[in-house]
């Protein structure tokens, strides 16, 4: 049983609900030993007089609460609209729509997953993946059957055909800033790399860089992905592109899929994983596993415990890439989760001897 179960001393529900609290404690005790959350989440079945930033107010119909809902959101509260096997979270100016099974214990499950430290949109995903009685079936009742998970609503249509497949285990995956680096690293024998060039300007230079990367990949039988610049990658006939969550709403995914270009998508939790799966990508990146200085991350580091859960859920469904703060020291622990690929940045580009660094990193995949 978890050693961090401290629910009895907390204000979990409004109005106070002993039966819900007992159900939450029962579920929480079977989810594993997660560090207790420091966020003051409170699930409100009736709207409090003065909601705050820790309140998640559950309603059945947003249209009946239009003016009130706008006020609640302005005051920093979140609103969960739940009815007929659908749940939509409104929080922080974002809308997270889900369609799936609402168990009788879904609210207690939501409170338990919030206590495990999951952000509300991910906790809601897990609550909809919960089935009544799951806590009686095993010591570890954490949802791990993808068939039980909800689907994300309101997404643009996926391309008519899935994206081209890539190897199930991509191995070492350096993310590199220039074509010079790409040419150098594929020359070391690395078979999967990514060009992450932050600027698209000047355009002619960008196109030359991508063309060099594509040529280097073909010369060394390596899989070269291009980060963000999908138009230039499509024009150059790149092996693959890597996009962020926001890019699926603007990139021409159908054109990329029709051209046979592989697609990798970044994710930062369960909700974004489900969103990525909708588009049937070639791989899904899971991160950031550890703190990283290479880019500003939208979420706190995921850690190895969450990474292991993600791998357990998605292994065999789609190739997975762990990313964020990974170096030679932590790489064995990352691979111990079962993930078949790890992306690295500074472990190569800031190494005193990049060739030796690559060799040491590759050895971790064979141990």
The annotation places the binding site for Mg(2+) at 228, 247
Separation between Cα atoms, residue 57 and residue 45, nearest integer Å: 6
Indicate the SS3 state at residue 363.
helix
CA distance 94 to 361: 39
Are 95 and 152 in contact by the 8 Å Cβ rule? The answer is: no
Q: Calculate the alpha carbon distances from 245 to 43, 156, 265, 311 in Å.
A: 28, 12, 7, 19
- Mapping DSSP to helix (H, G, I), strand (E, B) and coil, where does residue 249 land? helix
Distance, CA of 365 to CA of 340 (rounded, Å) = 8
Residue by residue, what is the 3-state secondary structure of 13-82?
Answer: EECCCHHHHHHHHHHHCCCCCCCCCCCCCEEECCCCCCCCCCEEEEECCHHHHHHHHHHHHHCCCEEEEE
Rounded to 10 degrees, what is the CA torsion of 294, 295, 298, 301?
0
| Max Cα-Cα span within the chain | 67
Cα separation of the two ends of the chain: 33
d(CA 14, CA 181) in angstroms, rounded, equals: 56
Residue ranges for the known binding site are 194-198, 227-228, 247, 266, 292-295, 325
Strands 78-83 and 86-91 turn out to be antiparallel
């Amino acid at each position: 049983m978890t050693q961090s179960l401290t629910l009895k001393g907390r204000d979990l529900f409004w109005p106070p609900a002993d039966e819900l609290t007992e159900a939450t404690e029962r579920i929480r005790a079977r989810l594993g030993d997660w560090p207790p959350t420091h966020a003051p989440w409170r699930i409100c079945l009736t709207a409090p007089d003065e909601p705050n930033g820790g309140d998640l107010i559950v309603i059945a119909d947003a249209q009946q609460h239009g003016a009130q809902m706008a006020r609640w959101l302005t005051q920093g509260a979140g609103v969960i609209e739940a009815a007929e096997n659908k749940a939509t979270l409104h929080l922080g100016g974002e809308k997270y729509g889900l369609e799936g099974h609402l168990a009788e214990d879904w609210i207690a499950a939501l409170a338990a997953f919030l206590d495990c430290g999951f952000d509300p949109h991910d906790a809601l995903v897990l609550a909809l993946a919960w089935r009544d009685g799951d806590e009686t079936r095993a010591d570890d009742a954490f949802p791990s059957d993808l068939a039980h998970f909800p689907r994300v609503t309101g997404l643009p249509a996926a391309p008519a055909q899935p994206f081209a497949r890539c190897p199930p285990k991509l191995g070492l995956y350096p993310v590199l800033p220039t074509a010079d680096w790409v040419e150098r690293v594929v020359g070391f024998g690395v078979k999967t790399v990514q060009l992450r060039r932050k600027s698209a300007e000047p355009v002619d230079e960008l196109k030359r860089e991508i063309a060099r990367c594509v040529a280097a990949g073909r010369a060394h039988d390596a899989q070269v992905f291009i980060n963000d610049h999908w138009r230039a990658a499509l024009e150059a006939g790149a092996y693959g592109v890597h996009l962020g969550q926001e890019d699926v709403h603007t990139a021409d995914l159908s054109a990329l899929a029709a051209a046979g270009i592989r697609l990798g998508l970044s994710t930062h939790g369960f909700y974004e994983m489900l969103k990525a799966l909708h588009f049937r990508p070639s791989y899904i990146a899971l991160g950031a596993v550890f703190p990283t200085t290479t880019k500003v991350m939208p979420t706190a580091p995921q850690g190895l415990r969450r990474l292991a859960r993600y791998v357990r859920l998605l292994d065999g469904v789609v190739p997975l890439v762990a990313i964020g703060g990974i170096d030679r020291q932590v790489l064995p622990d990352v691979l111990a989760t079962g993930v078949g690929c790890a992306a690295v940045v500074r472990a190569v580009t800031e190494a005193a001897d990049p060739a030796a660094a690559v060799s040491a990193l590759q050895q971790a995949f064979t141990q």
